Structure 1
């Protein structure tokens, strides 16, 4: 389509970057289990969290995890659609759920760093 992007339709039975894609089938259930545990943990964090930036970050990660989980449960694999490349170098294909996970992680890291910076620059109020 362009000199740097293709729409593709790839079946990823593995994890990120197709890690464990040739595992023989066990990886489907392993990744489903991990996604369920992580999703429950993220829901707990969202419900307990008072900081809006972190809650949004957790929600993006949760949405991406759930999207990939639904693919794994009903299809047995995740469908990847975006293929970016430069000349002979290809970034591993990914999907919208992966984008949500990465954006959520970046938002979490930036909100954590900015929150700590704001806390260290805050003036003491004199109370103990």
Structure 2
């Protein structure tokens, strides 16, 4: 009986240890995301734009909605709606990381998305909106919606999910 108890404890400890690198990646995304947002908030006034290249500006804008300002013009309820979705997604990603810590590409994707989700949830709770500041554009084609480091993590993670799934499908 003591042996069974010991093995289940070591299994839980091993599972937590297996998650450590993935949580570390998520933490790096959160840290870089929050540090860049704090810096831009301190150095820019709302709406201020600073050209960097002929296709890239730094700009301070706020997004009270979701991607591409979806529902951004609503009365404020969307702040808590998107926060709740983010918290549920964070919980699910932690659960999936715990269950599949050895699936490297899958966990890279989850870790990047997790870091991005936490970064944007922090913004929604702290400010009531997400802070965006990276503004890319191409000549007369207009500007891509401004985004942030958290969004980069989410986008790269989503791409890695697709690659992981395609690899999985091609194995069968």
Considering the TM-score relative to the shorter chain, is it more than 0.5?
Answer: yes
* TM superposition shift of 1:87: 2.2
Q: Which runs of 4+ in 1 moved over 3 A?
A: none
* TM superposition shift of 1:114: 1.5
Return the alpha-carbon distance in structure 2 between the equivalents of residues 23 and 81 of structure 1: 22
Find the partner of 1:104 among 131, 142, 157.
157
Gaps of 5+ in 1: 121-128
User: Is 2:167 the partner of 1:114?
Assistant: yes
* TM superposition shift of 1:115: 2.6
User: Counterpart in 2 of 1:55?
Assistant: 107
Return the alpha-carbon distance in structure 2 between the equivalents of residues 93 and 33 of structure 1: 23
User: Counterpart in 1 of 2:29?
Assistant: none
User: Counterpart in 1 of 2:89?
Assistant: 38
User: Counterpart in 2 of 1:64?
Assistant: 116
* TM superposition shift of 1:52: 1.3
Return the alpha-carbon distance in structure 1 between the equivalents of residues 146 and 73 of structure 2: 16
- Name the SS for the 1:90 alignment partner: coil
User: Is 2:143 the partner of 1:90?
Assistant: yes
Find the partner of 1:7 among 58, 64, 84.
58
* CA-to-aligned-CA distance 1:68-109 (integer Å, 9 cap, x gap): 000100111110010001123110000000000000010111
Q: Which has the higher helix share?
A: 2
User: Counterpart in 1 of 2:129?
Assistant: 77
TM-score for both structures, normalised by structure 1: 0.89
Matches within 5 A, 1:22-37: 22-37=73-88
| Corresponding residue pairs, total | 119
* TM superposition shift of 1:112: 1.4
Q: Which has the higher strand share?
A: 1
